């Protein structure tokens, strides 16, 4: 088990990563046609998986063929296969109390991708891993399978029907934006969105789907609560003062009028933090000062989410708001931190023998978030507010292969790798499959 100081050294300044399928010719003799049709009918009736058998005998996805040497040529083959083999649609059938977060990754022969950079024009360069030279594609061939129920593939048409006339906001850091960008690509396969607003720093962004009258926003915030970086001799120190009794007004002022808020945060908390109530420093994280009560990172995360959910429950102009917590999505740096040579070059998920370390800081952060959303849910029942959870932590702990790594466009100083954000397409698209299941449940559409 890593000590707190080791975790801090590995994850300090992690937030800086924010700035990646002939018909045959007609048969001329009726008897031959009848014979062939009879044989084929028997095959369909008695073969347990006839389409899979057909696939294994010559209709496998292009991805299983030998790839071209050029990344873009290989990516074109992905687009051709995507056009020929759209993911199947299915109704969501969820067992009562099925935990979508408990499951495993299984191979999907058709791949898990829904789009490419040819079919989605809004993939940012920093997450466009194929465009940036990533050659391996097996990481696309996995889907999340909950242990107790079926999780259907994402259905953009159904999603847009559910949210028609609504406004949805993703509130959080650049990983929250990563989720929004993934959802934007998924939905753009059904309807083209209009880019109607961005601020000068491109941190607040709004997209509009006119046919569905659906508005999609991202509201950027580091900590959810108010915070300010300490300057030492005019230089940013990476040390922050956070106000436990005040949320970040940057996102809070946009909350009225939002129907669905997806709230997340976490990576910015792995640093020295001083926690204030009013003008007083009451606790700290990683400060090691004798006169200040010290806490681990999960404490500051928990207090931040408590303040955020309290604000949402108290919001007088937020009637009917549905708030969904998206739990912490871990980074996967190996052999160092982001700024000490750490990298993430795996090409597949961890296998079934890989156990979740419940003592890890990532899992503790997830648990703190879950505790606070459950607290908020109880309070919100009496105030017309609803809360839910998109629990992705366990699933994403198993996907060290999903990050851009060195394939993220503009390189950071010192050749740092991006093992925080997620390639598009990639495992991050699974978040929206879980999201849609939860959304249907919230809308009372689950069967």
**Is pLDDT of 160 > 70?**
yes
pLDDT digits (tens, 9 = 90+) for 260-287: 999 999 999 999 999 999 999 999 999 9
Predicted local confidence at residue 93, as pLDDT: 52
Residue 136: active-site member: no
When pLDDT is averaged across residues 412-441 and rounded to a whole number, the result is 92
pLDDT digits (tens, 9 = 90+) for 239-265: 999 999 999 999 999 999 999 999 999
Mean pLDDT (the chain) is 83
Predicted local confidence at residue 78, as pLDDT: 47
Look up the pTM and report it.
0.81
User: Which domains does the chain show, CATH number per domain?
Assistant: 4-21+85-442 (3.40.50.1110), 30-74 (no CATH)
**Is pLDDT of 46 > 50?**
no
Higher pLDDT, 79 or 158: 158
For residues 357 and 301, give the distance between their C-alpha atoms in angstroms, rounded to a whole number. 19
**Is pLDDT of 85 > 60?**
no
Closest CA to 423 of 124, 173, 172, 206: 124
Confidence of residue 413 (pLDDT cuts 50, 70, 90): low
Predicted local confidence at residue 358, as pLDDT: 80
**What percent of the chain shows pLDDT beyond 70?**
76
Confidence of residue 95 (pLDDT cuts 50, 70, 90): low
pLDDT digits (tens, 9 = 90+) for 335-354: 998 888 999 999 999 987 77
Higher pLDDT, 2 or 360: 360
Confidence of residue 412 (pLDDT cuts 50, 70, 90): low
Predicted local confidence at residue 82, as pLDDT: 46
Confidence of residue 446 (pLDDT cuts 50, 70, 90): low
**Is pLDDT of 322 > 80?**
yes
Residue 418: active-site member: yes
**Is pLDDT of 43 > 80?**
no
Catalytic residue among 155, 173, 401, 418: 418
Confidence of residue 70 (pLDDT cuts 50, 70, 90): very low
Predicted local confidence at residue 351, as pLDDT: 82
Predicted local confidence at residue 312, as pLDDT: 98
When pLDDT is averaged across residues 354-366 and rounded to a whole number, the result is 88
Catalytic residue among 77, 101, 174, 265: 174
Catalytic residue among 158, 421, 429, 432: 421
22-31, 65-74, 110-119, 303-312 — most confident range: 303-312
């Amino acid at each position: 088990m890593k000590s707190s100081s080791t975790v801090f050294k590995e994850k300090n300044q992690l937030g800086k990563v924010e700035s990646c399928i002939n018909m045959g010719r007609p048969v001329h003799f009726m008897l031959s046609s009848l014979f062939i049709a009879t044989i084929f009918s028997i095959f369909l009736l008695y073969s347990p998986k006839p389409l899979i058998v057909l696939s294994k005998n010559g209709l496998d996805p292009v991805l299983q063929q030998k790839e071209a040497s050029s990344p873009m040529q290989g990516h074109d083959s992905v687009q051709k296969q995507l056009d020929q083999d759209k993911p199947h649609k299915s109704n969501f059938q969820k067992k009562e109390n099925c935990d979508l977060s408990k499951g495993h990754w299984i191979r999907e022969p058709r791949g898990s991708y829904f789009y490419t950079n040819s079919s989605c024009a809004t993939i940012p360069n920093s997450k466009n891993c194929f465009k940036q030279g990533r050659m391996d594609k097996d990481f696309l061939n996995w889907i999340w399978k909950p242990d107790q129920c079926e999780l259907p593939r994402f259905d953009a048409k159904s999603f847009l029907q559910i949210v028609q006339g609504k406004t949805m906001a993703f509130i959080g850091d650049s990983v929250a934006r990563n989720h929004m960008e993934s959802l934007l690509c998924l939905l753009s396969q059904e309807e083209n969105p209009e880019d109607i607003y961005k601020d000068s720093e491109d941190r607040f962004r709004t997209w509009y789907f006119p046919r569905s009258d659906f508005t999609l926003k991202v509201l950027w915030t580091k900590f959810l609560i108010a915070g300010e970086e300490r300057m030492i001799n005019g230089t940013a120190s990476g040390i922050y003062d956070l106000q436990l009794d005040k949320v970040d007004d940057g996102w809070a002022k946009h909350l009225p009028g939002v129907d669905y808020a997806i709230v997340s945060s976490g990576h910015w908390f792995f640093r020295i933090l001083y926690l204030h109530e009013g003008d007083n420093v009451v606790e700290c994280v990683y400060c090691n000062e004798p006169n200040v009560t010290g806490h681990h990172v999960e404490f500051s995360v928990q207090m931040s989410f408590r303040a955020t959910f309290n604000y949402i429950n108290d919001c007088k102009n937020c009637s009917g708001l549905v708030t969904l917590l998206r739990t912490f999505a871990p980074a996967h740096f190996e052999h160092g931190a982001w700024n000490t040579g750490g990298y993430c070059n795996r090409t597949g998920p961890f296998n079934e023998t890989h156990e979740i370390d419940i003592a890890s800081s990532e899992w503790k952060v997830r648990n703190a978030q879950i505790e606070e959303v459950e607290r908020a849910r109880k309070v919100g029942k009496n105030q017309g507010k609803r809360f839910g959870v998109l629990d992705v932590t366990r699933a994403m702990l198993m996907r060290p292969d999903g990050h851009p790594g060195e394939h993220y466009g503009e390189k950071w100083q010192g050749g740092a790798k991006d093992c925080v954000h997620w390639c598009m397409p990639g495992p991050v698209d699974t978040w929206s499959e879980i999201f849609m299941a939860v959304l249907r449940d919230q809308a009372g559409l689950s069967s």
